[in-house]
Structure 1
Protein backbone atom coordinates (compact mmCIF):
# COMPACT_ATOMS: atom_id res chain seq x y z
CA UNK A 1 0.00 0.00 0.00
CA UNK A 2 3.01 2.28 -0.10
CA UNK A 3 3.08 4.48 3.02
CA UNK A 4 3.69 2.98 6.42
CA UNK A 5 0.40 2.09 8.14
CA UNK A 6 -0.27 2.95 11.77
CA UNK A 7 -1.54 -0.36 13.12
CA UNK A 8 -3.35 1.41 15.97
CA UNK A 9 -5.05 4.25 14.08
CA UNK A 10 -8.44 2.51 14.02
CA UNK A 11 -7.92 0.43 17.17
CA UNK A 12 -11.23 -0.14 18.90
CA UNK A 13 -13.19 1.39 16.02
CA UNK A 14 -16.25 -0.54 14.89
CA UNK A 15 -16.41 -0.31 11.12
CA UNK A 16 -18.99 -1.35 8.54
CA UNK A 17 -18.05 -1.34 4.86
CA UNK A 18 -20.60 -2.08 2.15
CA UNK A 19 -19.27 -3.83 -0.93
CA UNK A 20 -16.32 -5.09 1.09
CA UNK A 21 -16.03 -8.53 -0.46
CA UNK A 22 -14.30 -7.48 -3.69
CA UNK A 23 -12.74 -4.64 -5.64
CA UNK A 24 -12.24 -1.28 -3.99
CA UNK A 25 -14.44 -2.32 -1.07
CA UNK A 26 -12.19 -5.27 -0.32
CA UNK A 27 -9.19 -2.94 -0.38
CA UNK A 28 -10.97 -0.64 2.09
CA UNK A 29 -11.65 -3.60 4.38
CA UNK A 30 -7.98 -4.63 4.29
CA UNK A 31 -6.71 -1.08 4.85
CA UNK A 32 -8.94 -0.31 7.82
CA UNK A 33 -8.32 -3.73 9.35
CA UNK A 34 -4.58 -3.12 9.02
CA UNK A 35 -5.15 0.00 11.09
CA UNK A 36 -6.72 -2.05 13.87
CA UNK A 37 -10.41 -1.67 13.03
CA UNK A 38 -13.07 -4.25 13.88
CA UNK A 39 -14.59 -4.94 10.49
CA UNK A 40 -17.94 -6.08 9.11
CA UNK A 41 -19.23 -6.27 5.55
CA UNK A 42 -21.94 -8.02 3.56
CA UNK A 43 -22.36 -9.65 0.18
CA UNK A 44 -24.74 -12.06 -1.50
CA UNK A 45 -22.10 -14.81 -1.53
CA UNK A 46 -19.49 -15.65 1.09
CA UNK A 47 -15.97 -14.73 -0.09
CA UNK A 48 -13.07 -17.09 0.57
CA UNK A 49 -10.74 -14.43 1.95
CA UNK A 50 -12.96 -13.07 4.74
CA UNK A 51 -13.48 -14.77 8.08
CA UNK A 52 -17.00 -15.45 9.27
CA UNK A 53 -16.80 -12.86 12.06
CA UNK A 54 -16.37 -10.02 9.57
CA UNK A 55 -18.97 -11.12 7.04
CA UNK A 56 -22.77 -11.21 6.79
CA UNK A 57 -24.56 -12.85 3.88
CA UNK A 58 -27.08 -10.29 2.66
CA UNK A 59 -28.31 -8.68 -0.56
CA UNK A 60 -27.83 -4.97 0.05
CA UNK A 61 -29.99 -4.04 -2.92
CA UNK A 62 -33.00 -5.03 -0.79
CA UNK A 63 -34.58 -3.49 2.29
CA UNK A 64 -34.31 -6.84 4.07
CA UNK A 65 -30.62 -7.23 3.26
CA UNK A 66 -29.73 -3.79 4.57
CA UNK A 67 -31.70 -4.52 7.74
CA UNK A 68 -29.85 -7.79 8.20
CA UNK A 69 -26.47 -6.05 7.99
CA UNK A 70 -27.54 -3.35 10.43
CA UNK A 71 -28.82 -5.93 12.90
CA UNK A 72 -25.54 -7.85 12.65
CA UNK A 73 -23.51 -4.68 13.18
CA UNK A 74 -25.38 -3.91 16.37
CA UNK A 75 -25.25 -7.51 17.62
CA UNK A 76 -21.61 -8.25 16.79
CA UNK A 77 -20.00 -4.85 17.18
CA UNK A 78 -22.35 -3.18 19.64
CA UNK A 79 -22.62 -0.15 17.37
CA UNK A 80 -20.74 1.52 14.53
CA UNK A 81 -18.11 4.27 14.66
CA UNK A 82 -17.24 4.38 10.96
CA UNK A 83 -19.60 3.61 8.08
CA UNK A 84 -18.16 3.36 4.55
CA UNK A 85 -20.43 2.88 1.55
CA UNK A 86 -18.61 1.34 -1.42
CA UNK A 87 -21.25 -0.98 -2.88
CA UNK A 88 -22.58 0.11 -6.26
CA UNK A 89 -22.33 -0.46 -9.97
CA UNK A 90 -24.36 -0.69 -13.13
CA UNK A 91 -26.06 -3.62 -14.82
CA UNK A 92 -28.14 -1.66 -17.32
CA UNK A 93 -28.06 -2.48 -21.04
CA UNK A 94 -26.59 -0.16 -23.64
CA UNK A 95 -28.70 1.84 -26.02
CA UNK A 96 -29.20 5.17 -24.29
CA UNK A 97 -32.16 6.45 -22.31
CA UNK A 98 -34.84 4.64 -24.33
CA UNK A 99 -33.34 1.23 -23.50
CA UNK A 100 -33.90 1.70 -19.76
CA UNK A 101 -37.25 0.68 -18.36
CA UNK A 102 -38.54 1.36 -14.86
CA UNK A 103 -36.97 -1.83 -13.52
CA UNK A 104 -33.51 -0.77 -14.74
CA UNK A 105 -33.88 2.65 -13.17
CA UNK A 106 -35.13 1.16 -9.90
CA UNK A 107 -32.17 -1.25 -9.80
CA UNK A 108 -29.59 1.49 -10.37
CA UNK A 109 -31.15 3.85 -7.86
CA UNK A 110 -31.56 1.01 -5.38
CA UNK A 111 -27.95 -0.17 -5.19
CA UNK A 112 -26.22 3.18 -5.80
CA UNK A 113 -28.40 5.45 -3.67
CA UNK A 114 -30.95 3.69 -1.51
CA UNK A 115 -28.55 1.19 0.06
CA UNK A 116 -26.66 4.12 1.60
CA UNK A 117 -29.86 5.96 2.56
CA UNK A 118 -31.31 2.89 4.28
CA UNK A 119 -28.16 1.87 6.13
CA UNK A 120 -27.47 5.42 7.29
CA UNK A 121 -31.00 5.60 8.64
CA UNK A 122 -30.41 2.47 10.70
CA UNK A 123 -26.85 3.03 11.94
CA UNK A 124 -26.21 6.78 12.07
CA UNK A 125 -28.64 7.41 14.99
CA UNK A 126 -26.22 5.47 17.20
CA UNK A 127 -23.41 7.81 16.15
CA UNK A 128 -25.59 10.82 16.94
CA UNK A 129 -26.35 9.41 20.39
CA UNK A 130 -22.61 9.09 21.08
CA UNK A 131 -21.84 12.47 19.54
CA UNK A 132 -19.15 11.09 17.26
CA UNK A 133 -18.79 9.13 14.04
CA UNK A 134 -17.68 9.21 10.43
CA UNK A 135 -19.56 8.35 7.25
CA UNK A 136 -17.97 8.08 3.80
CA UNK A 137 -20.07 7.69 0.66
CA UNK A 138 -18.57 6.51 -2.64
CA UNK A 139 -19.97 8.49 -5.55
CA UNK A 140 -18.42 8.64 -9.03
CA UNK A 141 -17.01 11.12 -11.51
CA UNK A 142 -19.92 10.07 -13.70
CA UNK A 143 -22.11 12.38 -11.67
CA UNK A 144 -20.18 15.11 -13.54
CA UNK A 145 -19.23 13.19 -16.70
CA UNK A 146 -22.18 10.86 -17.41
CA UNK A 147 -21.78 8.24 -20.14
CA UNK A 148 -25.19 8.17 -21.77
CA UNK A 149 -24.98 4.91 -23.71
CA UNK A 150 -25.18 2.42 -20.85
CA UNK A 151 -24.70 4.14 -17.49
CA UNK A 152 -27.06 7.09 -17.57
CA UNK A 153 -29.11 5.73 -14.65
CA UNK A 154 -25.95 4.90 -12.69
CA UNK A 155 -24.65 8.44 -13.23
CA UNK A 156 -27.96 9.94 -12.12
CA UNK A 157 -28.00 7.74 -9.00
CA UNK A 158 -24.45 8.79 -8.09
CA UNK A 159 -25.39 12.44 -8.58
CA UNK A 160 -28.26 11.89 -6.17
CA UNK A 161 -25.88 10.20 -3.71
CA UNK A 162 -23.54 13.20 -3.78
CA UNK A 163 -26.42 15.59 -3.14
CA UNK A 164 -27.75 13.38 -0.35
CA UNK A 165 -24.26 13.20 1.19
CA UNK A 166 -23.95 16.99 1.24
CA UNK A 167 -27.41 17.43 2.75
CA UNK A 168 -26.68 14.80 5.40
CA UNK A 169 -23.46 16.55 6.34
CA UNK A 170 -25.33 19.76 7.09
CA UNK A 171 -27.62 17.91 9.48
CA UNK A 172 -25.03 15.73 11.19
CA UNK A 173 -22.04 18.06 11.51
CA UNK A 174 -23.43 19.94 14.52
CA UNK A 175 -24.14 16.56 16.13
CA UNK A 176 -20.53 15.38 15.96
CA UNK A 177 -20.81 13.08 12.93
CA UNK A 178 -18.62 13.84 9.92
CA UNK A 179 -19.90 13.00 6.42
CA UNK A 180 -17.72 13.03 3.31
CA UNK A 181 -17.69 11.45 -0.13
CA UNK A 182 -15.15 10.22 -2.65
CA UNK A 183 -15.69 10.24 -6.41
CA UNK A 184 -13.48 7.71 -8.18
CA UNK A 185 -12.94 7.48 -11.89
CA UNK A 186 -11.83 4.21 -13.46
CA UNK A 187 -10.52 1.83 -10.79
CA UNK A 188 -8.48 -1.14 -11.98
CA UNK A 189 -10.24 -3.89 -10.05
CA UNK A 190 -10.38 -7.58 -10.97
CA UNK A 191 -13.65 -6.80 -12.76
CA UNK A 192 -11.87 -4.11 -14.79
CA UNK A 193 -9.13 -6.56 -15.72
CA UNK A 194 -11.75 -9.05 -16.91
CA UNK A 195 -13.41 -6.30 -18.96
CA UNK A 196 -10.08 -5.56 -20.64
CA UNK A 197 -9.67 -9.27 -21.42
CA UNK A 198 -13.18 -9.47 -22.91
CA UNK A 199 -12.58 -6.42 -25.11
CA UNK A 200 -9.26 -7.82 -26.28
CA UNK A 201 -10.76 -11.24 -27.08
CA UNK A 202 -13.85 -9.92 -28.82
CA UNK A 203 -11.95 -7.31 -30.86
CA UNK A 204 -8.87 -9.39 -31.64
CA UNK A 205 -6.52 -6.83 -30.12
CA UNK A 206 -3.92 -6.88 -27.37
CA UNK A 207 -4.85 -6.18 -23.77
CA UNK A 208 -2.76 -3.00 -23.93
CA UNK A 209 -4.85 -1.83 -26.89
CA UNK A 210 -8.03 -2.77 -25.05
CA UNK A 211 -6.95 -0.71 -22.03
CA UNK A 212 -6.23 2.20 -24.33
CA UNK A 213 -9.69 1.93 -25.88
CA UNK A 214 -11.22 2.41 -22.43
CA UNK A 215 -8.93 5.35 -21.73
CA UNK A 216 -10.00 6.88 -25.03
CA UNK A 217 -13.70 6.39 -24.19
CA UNK A 218 -13.12 8.31 -20.94
CA UNK A 219 -11.49 11.14 -22.85
CA UNK A 220 -8.09 10.13 -21.52
CA UNK A 221 -6.55 9.99 -18.05
CA UNK A 222 -3.67 12.47 -17.73
CA UNK A 223 -1.60 10.20 -15.48
CA UNK A 224 -2.03 7.45 -18.09
CA UNK A 225 -3.66 4.78 -15.95
CA UNK A 226 -6.68 4.05 -13.76
CA UNK A 227 -6.48 4.22 -9.97
CA UNK A 228 -5.60 1.08 -8.04
CA UNK A 229 -8.06 -0.16 -5.38
CA UNK A 230 -5.44 0.40 -2.66
CA UNK A 231 -5.14 4.05 -3.67
CA UNK A 232 -8.87 4.59 -3.31
CA UNK A 233 -8.79 2.75 0.02
CA UNK A 234 -6.04 5.05 1.28
CA UNK A 235 -8.12 8.13 0.54
CA UNK A 236 -11.14 6.63 2.29
CA UNK A 237 -9.00 5.64 5.28
CA UNK A 238 -7.79 9.23 5.58
CA UNK A 239 -11.31 10.67 5.47
CA UNK A 240 -12.53 8.14 8.04
CA UNK A 241 -9.64 8.86 10.40
CA UNK A 242 -9.09 11.55 13.01
CA UNK A 243 -6.44 13.00 10.68
CA UNK A 244 -9.38 14.43 8.73
CA UNK A 245 -11.16 15.78 11.81
CA UNK A 246 -11.81 19.17 10.18
CA UNK A 247 -12.91 17.77 6.81
CA UNK A 248 -16.68 17.59 6.55
CA UNK A 249 -19.27 17.89 3.79
CA UNK A 250 -16.58 17.48 1.13
CA UNK A 251 -16.22 15.26 -1.92
CA UNK A 252 -12.78 14.20 -3.10
CA UNK A 253 -12.19 13.16 -6.70
CA UNK A 254 -9.67 10.37 -7.35
CA UNK A 255 -9.55 9.93 -11.12
CA UNK A 256 -6.01 10.64 -12.27
CA UNK A 257 -7.20 13.92 -13.76
CA UNK A 258 -10.01 12.50 -15.93
CA UNK A 259 -12.43 15.33 -15.17
CA UNK A 260 -11.10 18.13 -17.37
CA UNK A 261 -12.77 21.09 -15.65
CA UNK A 262 -12.60 22.79 -12.26
Structure 2
Protein backbone atom coordinates (compact mmCIF):
# COMPACT_ATOMS: atom_id res chain seq x y z
CA UNK A 1 0.00 0.00 0.00
CA UNK A 2 1.37 3.39 -1.01
CA UNK A 3 1.16 5.91 1.84
CA UNK A 4 0.58 9.11 -0.15
CA UNK A 5 1.51 12.21 1.87
CA UNK A 6 -0.60 14.36 -0.47
CA UNK A 7 2.17 16.93 -0.86
CA UNK A 8 2.46 16.86 -4.66
CA UNK A 9 2.80 20.38 -6.07
CA UNK A 10 3.08 22.16 -2.72
CA UNK A 11 5.61 25.01 -2.44
CA UNK A 12 8.03 24.77 0.48
CA UNK A 13 10.75 27.09 1.74
CA UNK A 14 13.41 25.39 3.88
CA UNK A 15 16.00 27.60 5.53
CA UNK A 16 19.57 26.33 5.84
CA UNK A 17 19.00 23.59 3.30
CA UNK A 18 22.45 22.93 1.87
CA UNK A 19 23.95 20.92 4.74
CA UNK A 20 22.95 18.62 7.59
CA UNK A 21 19.30 18.38 8.57
CA UNK A 22 18.19 21.12 6.17
CA UNK A 23 19.65 19.28 3.18
CA UNK A 24 17.90 16.06 4.24
CA UNK A 25 14.58 17.91 4.54
CA UNK A 26 15.02 19.44 1.08
CA UNK A 27 15.69 16.02 -0.44
CA UNK A 28 12.76 14.36 1.37
CA UNK A 29 10.29 17.02 0.28
CA UNK A 30 11.47 16.94 -3.31
CA UNK A 31 11.10 13.15 -3.41
CA UNK A 32 7.37 13.43 -2.58
CA UNK A 33 6.71 16.03 -5.26
CA UNK A 34 7.15 19.32 -3.41
CA UNK A 35 8.58 22.40 -5.14
CA UNK A 36 11.45 23.42 -2.88
CA UNK A 37 13.33 26.67 -2.35
CA UNK A 38 16.14 26.81 0.18
CA UNK A 39 18.79 29.14 1.54
CA UNK A 40 22.37 29.26 2.69
CA UNK A 41 25.11 31.83 3.14
CA UNK A 42 27.10 30.13 0.36
CA UNK A 43 26.11 28.17 -2.73
CA UNK A 44 25.98 24.36 -2.36
CA UNK A 45 28.79 22.18 -3.71
CA UNK A 46 26.32 19.74 -5.27
CA UNK A 47 22.97 21.46 -5.92
CA UNK A 48 19.93 19.27 -6.39
CA UNK A 49 18.30 19.58 -9.78
CA UNK A 50 14.95 21.37 -9.55
CA UNK A 51 15.66 23.04 -6.18
CA UNK A 52 15.84 26.84 -6.08
CA UNK A 53 18.77 28.12 -4.01
CA UNK A 54 18.87 31.63 -2.58
CA UNK A 55 22.20 32.84 -1.22
CA UNK A 56 21.48 35.08 1.76
CA UNK A 57 22.35 35.65 5.42
CA UNK A 58 19.27 35.08 7.56
CA UNK A 59 20.95 36.39 10.71
CA UNK A 60 20.27 39.90 9.38
CA UNK A 61 16.98 41.67 8.78
CA UNK A 62 18.23 42.59 5.30
CA UNK A 63 18.94 38.96 4.45
CA UNK A 64 15.43 37.92 5.46
CA UNK A 65 13.90 40.76 3.47
CA UNK A 66 15.86 39.69 0.39
CA UNK A 67 14.64 36.10 0.73
CA UNK A 68 11.03 37.22 1.17
CA UNK A 69 11.37 39.36 -1.97
CA UNK A 70 12.61 36.38 -4.00
CA UNK A 71 9.77 34.19 -2.69
CA UNK A 72 7.14 36.77 -3.66
CA UNK A 73 8.64 37.39 -7.09
CA UNK A 74 9.07 33.73 -8.04
CA UNK A 75 6.15 32.06 -6.28
CA UNK A 76 3.89 34.72 -4.79
CA UNK A 77 4.06 32.89 -1.46
CA UNK A 78 4.64 29.48 0.09
CA UNK A 79 2.43 26.66 1.35
CA UNK A 80 5.05 25.32 3.79
CA UNK A 81 7.70 27.25 5.71
CA UNK A 82 10.35 25.21 7.56
CA UNK A 83 12.69 27.24 9.74
CA UNK A 84 15.56 24.77 10.16
CA UNK A 85 18.54 27.13 10.09
CA UNK A 86 20.39 27.17 13.40
CA UNK A 87 23.50 26.24 15.29
CA UNK A 88 26.07 27.66 17.64
CA UNK A 89 29.52 29.20 17.38
CA UNK A 90 29.69 30.19 21.04
CA UNK A 91 32.98 29.50 22.81
CA UNK A 92 33.33 27.06 25.69
CA UNK A 93 33.86 28.42 29.17
CA UNK A 94 30.40 28.81 30.66
CA UNK A 95 28.41 32.00 31.15
CA UNK A 96 31.44 34.25 31.60
CA UNK A 97 32.66 33.50 28.06
CA UNK A 98 29.42 34.80 26.54
CA UNK A 99 29.62 38.52 25.85
CA UNK A 100 26.88 40.62 24.26
CA UNK A 101 28.14 39.92 20.74
CA UNK A 102 27.91 36.15 21.27
CA UNK A 103 24.43 36.41 22.76
CA UNK A 104 23.17 38.56 19.90
CA UNK A 105 24.72 36.22 17.33
CA UNK A 106 23.05 33.15 18.86
CA UNK A 107 19.69 34.91 19.13
CA UNK A 108 19.80 36.28 15.58
CA UNK A 109 20.56 32.85 14.12
CA UNK A 110 18.32 30.62 16.24
CA UNK A 111 15.38 32.90 17.05
CA UNK A 112 15.18 36.10 15.04
CA UNK A 113 15.74 34.47 11.64
CA UNK A 114 12.49 32.53 12.15
CA UNK A 115 10.59 35.44 13.72
CA UNK A 116 11.46 37.77 10.85
CA UNK A 117 10.72 35.26 8.12
CA UNK A 118 7.38 34.27 9.66
CA UNK A 119 6.45 37.94 9.86
CA UNK A 120 7.28 38.38 6.19
CA UNK A 121 5.54 35.28 4.77
CA UNK A 122 2.69 34.45 7.16
CA UNK A 123 0.32 37.22 5.97
CA UNK A 124 -0.02 35.55 2.56
CA UNK A 125 -0.79 32.21 4.22
CA UNK A 126 -3.40 33.84 6.43
CA UNK A 127 -4.96 35.54 3.42
CA UNK A 128 -5.71 32.15 1.85
CA UNK A 129 -6.38 30.51 5.25
CA UNK A 130 -3.95 27.67 4.55
CA UNK A 131 -0.35 26.80 5.27
CA UNK A 132 2.11 25.15 7.64
CA UNK A 133 4.98 26.69 9.60
CA UNK A 134 7.47 24.38 11.28
CA UNK A 135 10.25 25.49 13.62
CA UNK A 136 13.20 23.23 14.40
CA UNK A 137 13.93 23.71 18.09
CA UNK A 138 16.22 21.50 20.20
CA UNK A 139 16.21 19.33 23.30
CA UNK A 140 18.82 21.83 24.51
CA UNK A 141 15.93 24.03 25.59
CA UNK A 142 15.27 21.55 28.40
CA UNK A 143 18.74 19.99 28.58
CA UNK A 144 21.29 22.81 28.22
CA UNK A 145 24.99 22.09 28.48
CA UNK A 146 26.37 25.03 30.51
CA UNK A 147 29.94 24.62 29.29
CA UNK A 148 29.09 25.78 25.78
CA UNK A 149 25.40 25.92 24.81
CA UNK A 150 23.76 28.31 27.28
CA UNK A 151 23.00 31.01 24.70
CA UNK A 152 21.97 28.50 22.02
CA UNK A 153 19.69 26.68 24.48
CA UNK A 154 18.11 29.94 25.62
CA UNK A 155 17.47 30.98 22.00
CA UNK A 156 15.86 27.62 21.21
CA UNK A 157 13.74 27.90 24.36
CA UNK A 158 12.55 31.30 23.18
CA UNK A 159 11.83 29.89 19.72
CA UNK A 160 9.68 27.15 21.25
CA UNK A 161 7.68 29.61 23.37
CA UNK A 162 7.23 31.97 20.43
CA UNK A 163 6.09 29.05 18.26
CA UNK A 164 3.44 28.00 20.77
CA UNK A 165 2.08 31.53 21.03
CA UNK A 166 2.05 31.89 17.24
CA UNK A 167 0.14 28.63 16.92
CA UNK A 168 -2.56 29.83 19.32
CA UNK A 169 -2.94 32.96 17.20
CA UNK A 170 -2.94 31.60 13.66
CA UNK A 171 -4.18 27.99 13.84
CA UNK A 172 -7.82 29.18 14.09
CA UNK A 173 -7.12 31.15 10.91
CA UNK A 174 -6.04 28.10 8.93
CA UNK A 175 -2.26 27.97 9.42
CA UNK A 176 -0.74 25.12 11.43
CA UNK A 177 2.39 25.81 13.51
CA UNK A 178 4.59 22.95 14.67
CA UNK A 179 7.91 22.29 16.40
CA UNK A 180 10.36 19.44 15.95
CA UNK A 181 12.90 19.10 18.76
CA UNK A 182 15.89 16.94 17.79
CA UNK A 183 18.55 15.62 20.07
CA UNK A 184 22.01 14.94 18.72
CA UNK A 185 21.92 14.47 14.93
CA UNK A 186 24.87 12.88 13.12
CA UNK A 187 25.40 15.72 10.64
CA UNK A 188 28.65 16.65 8.92
CA UNK A 189 29.32 19.28 11.58
CA UNK A 190 28.67 16.93 14.50
CA UNK A 191 30.97 14.31 13.00
CA UNK A 192 33.78 16.87 12.75
CA UNK A 193 33.09 17.93 16.35
CA UNK A 194 33.18 14.35 17.66
CA UNK A 195 36.36 13.64 15.71
CA UNK A 196 38.00 16.71 17.26
CA UNK A 197 36.89 15.74 20.77
CA UNK A 198 38.19 12.22 20.18
CA UNK A 199 41.53 13.42 18.87
CA UNK A 200 42.00 15.73 21.85
CA UNK A 201 41.35 12.76 24.16
CA UNK A 202 43.69 10.46 22.21
CA UNK A 203 40.96 8.36 20.63
CA UNK A 204 39.04 8.11 17.33
CA UNK A 205 35.61 9.20 16.08
CA UNK A 206 33.79 6.40 17.88
CA UNK A 207 35.52 7.41 21.10
CA UNK A 208 34.61 11.03 20.53
CA UNK A 209 31.02 10.06 19.80
CA UNK A 210 30.82 8.17 23.08
CA UNK A 211 32.16 11.24 24.89
CA UNK A 212 29.40 13.42 23.44
CA UNK A 213 26.74 10.85 24.30
CA UNK A 214 28.07 10.71 27.87
CA UNK A 215 27.87 14.52 28.14
CA UNK A 216 24.20 14.25 27.17
CA UNK A 217 23.62 11.69 29.91
CA UNK A 218 23.43 8.86 27.39
CA UNK A 219 21.19 8.12 24.40
CA UNK A 220 19.08 5.04 25.20
CA UNK A 221 18.85 3.92 21.55
CA UNK A 222 22.65 3.90 21.54
CA UNK A 223 23.38 6.37 18.75
CA UNK A 224 22.55 9.84 17.45
CA UNK A 225 19.70 10.27 14.99
CA UNK A 226 20.44 10.45 11.28
CA UNK A 227 19.41 13.61 9.37
CA UNK A 228 17.10 11.43 7.26
CA UNK A 229 15.19 10.18 10.32
CA UNK A 230 14.47 13.73 11.46
CA UNK A 231 13.63 14.82 7.90
CA UNK A 232 11.11 11.97 7.58
CA UNK A 233 9.31 13.17 10.73
CA UNK A 234 9.24 16.76 9.45
CA UNK A 235 7.94 15.68 6.03
CA UNK A 236 5.06 13.80 7.63
CA UNK A 237 4.16 16.63 10.00
CA UNK A 238 3.90 19.27 7.26
CA UNK A 239 1.75 16.98 5.12
CA UNK A 240 -2.07 16.92 5.01
CA UNK A 241 -1.82 13.49 6.67
CA UNK A 242 -1.06 15.40 9.91
CA UNK A 243 -3.80 17.97 9.43
CA UNK A 244 -5.01 17.72 13.04
CA UNK A 245 -1.53 18.29 14.50
CA UNK A 246 -0.76 21.87 15.51
CA UNK A 247 0.85 23.72 18.38
CA UNK A 248 2.80 20.67 19.53
CA UNK A 249 6.50 19.89 19.92
CA UNK A 250 7.73 16.55 18.62
CA UNK A 251 10.90 15.26 20.25
CA UNK A 252 13.22 12.97 18.29
CA UNK A 253 16.19 12.32 20.55
CA UNK A 254 16.55 8.55 20.98
CA UNK A 255 15.26 8.90 24.54
CA UNK A 256 17.96 11.39 25.64
CA UNK A 257 15.73 13.66 27.73
CA UNK A 258 15.19 11.66 30.94
CA UNK A 259 11.99 13.36 32.09
CA UNK A 260 8.40 13.51 30.85
TM-score greater than 0.5 by the shorter chain:
yes
State the partner residue of 1:47. Answer: 44
Residue 141 of structure 1 is aligned with which of 139, 142, 145?
A: 139
Question: What stretches of structure 2 of length at least 5 have no aligned partner?
Answer: none
Do the aligned partners of residues 261 and 53 (structure 1) sit closer, same or farther apart at CA in structure 2, a change above 3 Å counting? closer
> Displacement of 1:22 after TM fit?
0.5
Question: In the alignment, does 2:202 pair up with 1:220?
Answer: no
Question: Aligned to 1:60, what secondary structure does the other structure show?
Answer: coil
Q: Where do residues 85-234 of structure 1 align in structure 2 (5 Å cutoff)? A: 85-234=83-232
What displacement does 1:200 show? 2.4
**Normalising by the residue count of structure 1, what TM-score does the alignment of the two structures yield?**
0.96
C-alpha displacement of 1:11: 1.5
Alignment of 1:27-38 (within 5 A): 27-38=24-35
Alignment of 1:12 onto 2:9: yes
1:71 paired residue among 69, 73, 84: 69
Structure 1 regions of 5+ residues with no counterpart? none
How many Å separate the matches in 1 of 2:135 and 2:51?
Answer: 24
Deviations 1:197-253 (A, max 9, x none): 212222221222111111100000000000000000011111100011000100000
**Structure 1 runs, 4 residues or longer, greater than 4 Å off:** 3-6
The CA distance in 1 between the partners of 2:41 and 2:113, in whole Å, is 14
Please state whether the residue corresponding to 1:123 is helix, strand or coil. Answer: helix
On the 8 A contact 1:5/1:34 being kept in 2, the answer is no
The alpha-carbon deviation at position 53 of structure 1 amounts to 5.4
Partner deviation per Cα, 1:43-98 (whole Å, 9 max, x = no partner) = 11100222585101101111111111111111112210000010001111111111
RMSD, matched Cα: 1.5
Q: Give the SS at the match of 2:250.
A: strand
Aligned to 1:237: 235
Q: CA–CA distance in 1 between the matches of 2:3 and 2:185?
A: 22
CA distance in 1, matches of 2:235, 2:51: 21
User: What is the CA–CA distance in structure 1 between the aligned matches of 2:28 and 2:51, rounded to whole Å?
Assistant: 17
Task: Tell me the secondary structure at the aligned position of residue 95 of structure 1.
Answer: coil
Q: TM-score, normalised by structure 2?
A: 0.96
- Partners of 2:137 and 2:179 within 8 A in 1: yes
Partners of 1:186 and 1:197 in 2: CA distance = 15
